[in-house]
Chain A
Amino acid sequence: MAETTSFTIEQFYKFIEKGKLMSVRCTECGKVMLPPKPICDECLSDKLEWKQLTPRGKLETYTVIHVAPTQFQSLAPYAVGIVKLQDGLKLPGIIKNVAFEDLHIGMELEIEFDASLPSKWPIWPRYYFKPI
């Protein structure tokens, strides 16, 4: 049981801090999960391993947020989207370095890792998407 405790959101963000995008693979059925979960959501096994993903993919959908929550006020307006990674998994996040009118479904994006925030529960380092 001890090793299942490490398949956590905290560990995912500790990898982000090191510039690695990691998913969790079930060694029983082969399902790959992003975000990491401590039990395979397909076969319920807890026999898992970390699997590194290529930090690039295509934009599946997007929006530009104008009315932001308190902690994002200074950033607004900002673009966010969901990216389908080359490995087939999906990840949401802020898209930087792009003019809003250039945003389009299918555009190629890569992840930029930002380790400026400490990895301390629940304050995580952020990752961003940017055009390739």
Chain B
Amino acid sequence: MKGKPLASIVSAGLSKFGKMKGLYGRELFAQAAKEAYERCPNLDPKKEIQALFVGHMGESYEHQGHTGATAADWAGLTPVAAMRTEAACASSGVALRAAILAILSGIYDVVMVGGLEKMTHRTTPEVTEFLAMASDFPFEQWHGITFPGLYALMATAHMHRYGTTEEQLAHVSVKNHYNGSLNPKAHMQKIITLEDALKSRIIAWPLKLYDCSLITDGASCLIITKPELAKKYTDIPVHIIGSGHACDTIGIYERESYTSLRAAKLAAKQAYEMAGVSPQEINVAEVHDCFTIAEIIAYEDLGFCEEGMGGRLVENGETRLDGKLPVNTSGGLKAKGHPVGATGTAQAYEIYLQLTDQAEKRQVENATIGLSHNVGGSGATATVHIYRRG
């Protein structure tokens, strides 16, 4: 049935994002879990949370795998059923999808879903190498194509096909840095100018430093329940009314288009149809701006504008906090930061705050329907979720 709640968010937590010196990923996850517990005094986590789904991309960063059990342990949830999901940067978007399916299965009433990544203690070349593991090894990594390099290939193609400009890319960065300046948990609270962005050093032409998301430590989580139980825990739940998940070839070069992500378009179509809403009905969205070009492509894949018009949408200010459809009010991956495995549920956390009037200085007025868009790698995985204030 269209628009019927699939599952409901009754609480959420987010660690501080940034260079969290001296803290392990699991300790950041404990911070996020603690906030979620405190936000929901009607819930007894020890007795009522029955399972944990946790997104985590890489063992290489902390020399630590087996993240489901580890995160459950540090969140005080042992011996609940815990599992890790891995889908590169969409690891916790996929975890959210799995958690919703688990609720819908009827086996669980209350579950926690989240994600974590600890990255900043590694050198930039190391992180560059670890992130590249989300792409194809024998044909992309082996030929020196980095992760920013893959999105740069998309940016070059988008600029060539639609006339998208480096200035338009920079507008994404300026907007998201402004939003991040209003978010006390963001990695960077620094307002930047168009000139700062355009003059920053080249990472993979045409992408410059300020076109790239941040290497960040952080963790995020949500507590979700069967919709009929939500009011037991909170006066204002957020219902998840649409969920989409699709994949594409691991190699970008096998795809027909470099200017849109087929997996994201398919996931969006599924989520919109399930929710019974159109792109024009979305009040606030968190999209996967791992690079500025990715946000522009996201506008187009999600139907916020016509194909090729994403650059103009941001240039005209329509996705600013005071625009028609505010996008990445949290600061996005660009300014809030991108602890890879934590990102999907960190996006859901921001939508939860927005739809329950808890987003403070960056609150979007009368927001009732929200969307999150989480992409893994160069688009081989995508999840889209649609939320409605309960």
CA distance A66 to B203 in the complex (A): 5
Interface pair A69/B156, CB less than 8 Å apart: no
Interface pair A66/B139, CB less than 8 Å apart: no
A116 close to B (CB within 8 Å): no
Give the contact stretch, choosing among B250-258, B270-278, B307-315.
Answer: B250-258
Known contacts A67-B128, A105-B160: A122-B253 contact under CB 8 Å: no
Give which listed residue, A61, A67, A75, contacts B124 with CB less than 8 A: A67
Interface members, chain A 16-54 (any B CB < 8 Å): 35
Interface pair B153/A65, CB less than 8 Å apart: no
B148 close to A (CB within 8 Å): yes
Interface pair B144/A80, CB less than 8 Å apart: yes
A73 close to B (CB within 8 Å): yes
Interface members, chain B 136-175 (any A CB < 8 Å): 137-146, 148-149, 152-157, 160
Q: Which of A61, A91, A100 has the most CB of B within 10 A?
A: A61
Interface members, chain A 62-117 (any B CB < 8 Å): 62-73, 75, 77-78, 80-82, 90-94, 100, 105
Give which listed residue, A13, A63, A71, A92, contacts B152 with CB less than 8 A: A63
In the complex, what residue of chain A is closest to B147 when comparing beta carbons? A69
Interface pair A63/B138, CB less than 8 Å apart: no
Give which listed residue, B138, B203, B258, contacts A9 with CB less than 8 A: B138
B35 close to A (CB within 8 Å): no
Chain A neighbourhood of B201, CB < 8 A: 66
Known contacts A65-B145, A68-B146: A92-B156 contact under CB 8 Å: no
Interface pair A61/B146, CB less than 8 Å apart: no
CA distance A78 to B206 in the complex (A): 13
Interface pair A63/B143, CB less than 8 Å apart: no
Chain B interface residue count: which class? 35 or more
Interface members, chain B 185-220 (any A CB < 8 Å): 201-207
Task: Tell me whether chain B's interface is mostly helix, strand or loop, or mixed.
Answer: helix
Interface residues contributed by chain A, number (CB under 8 Å): 33
CA distance A9 to B140 in the complex (A): 13
CA distance A82 to B143 in the complex (A): 11
Give which listed residue, A35, A64, A73, A91, contacts B205 with CB less than 8 A: A64
Known contacts A92-B145, A126-B143: A69-B137 contact under CB 8 Å: no
Known contacts A60-B258, A67-B203, A73-B125: A105-B156 contact under CB 8 Å: yes
Interface pair A82/B258, CB less than 8 Å apart: yes
Interface pair A63/B149, CB less than 8 Å apart: yes
> How far, in Å, is B201 (CB) from chain A's closest CB?
7
Interface pair A35/B138, CB less than 8 Å apart: yes
In the complex, what residue of chain B is closest to A82 when comparing beta carbons? B253
Interface pair A92/B160, CB less than 8 Å apart: no
A7 close to B (CB within 8 Å): no
Interface pair B143/A60, CB less than 8 Å apart: no
Chain B neighbourhood of A91, CB < 8 A: 139, 253
Chain B neighbourhood of A80, CB < 8 A: 143-145, 149, 153
Chain A neighbourhood of B252, CB < 8 A: 82, 92
Give which listed residue, A70, A77, A93, contacts B143 with CB less than 8 A: A93
Chain B neighbourhood of A70, CB < 8 A: 125-126, 128-129
Q: Which of A64, A69, A75, A80 has the most CB of B within 10 A?
A: A69
Chain A neighbourhood of B132, CB < 8 A: 69
Known contacts A124-B138, A124-B142: A66-B202 contact under CB 8 Å: yes
Known contacts A68-B125, A78-B144, A82-B253: A122-B138 contact under CB 8 Å: yes
Known contacts A68-B146, A105-B156: A35-B251 contact under CB 8 Å: yes
Chain A neighbourhood of B154, CB < 8 A: 61
Interface members, chain B 118-139 (any A CB < 8 Å): 124-126, 128-129, 132, 137-139
In the complex, what residue of chain A is closest to B206 when comparing beta carbons? A63
Q: Which of B126, B155, B204, B251 has the most CB of A within 10 A?
A: B204
CA distance A61 to B154 in the complex (A): 8
> How far, in Å, is A60 (CB) from chain B's closest CB?
7
CA distance A72 to B145 in the complex (A): 10
Known contacts A61-B153, A82-B153, A124-B138: A67-B143 contact under CB 8 Å: no
In the complex, what residue of chain B is closest to A81 when comparing beta carbons? B153
Q: Which 6 A-B pairs have the closest CB atoms?
A: A63-B152, A61-B157, A69-B129, A64-B205, A72-B144, A92-B253
| A residues apposed to B, CB below 8 Å | 9, 13, 35, 60-73, 75, 77-78, 80-82, 90-94, 100, 105, 122, 124, 126
Q: List 12 A-B contacts (CB under 8 A).
A: A61-B258, A62-B153, A63-B152, A63-B204, A68-B144, A69-B141, A70-B126, A77-B202, A80-B143, A90-B254, A92-B140, A100-B205
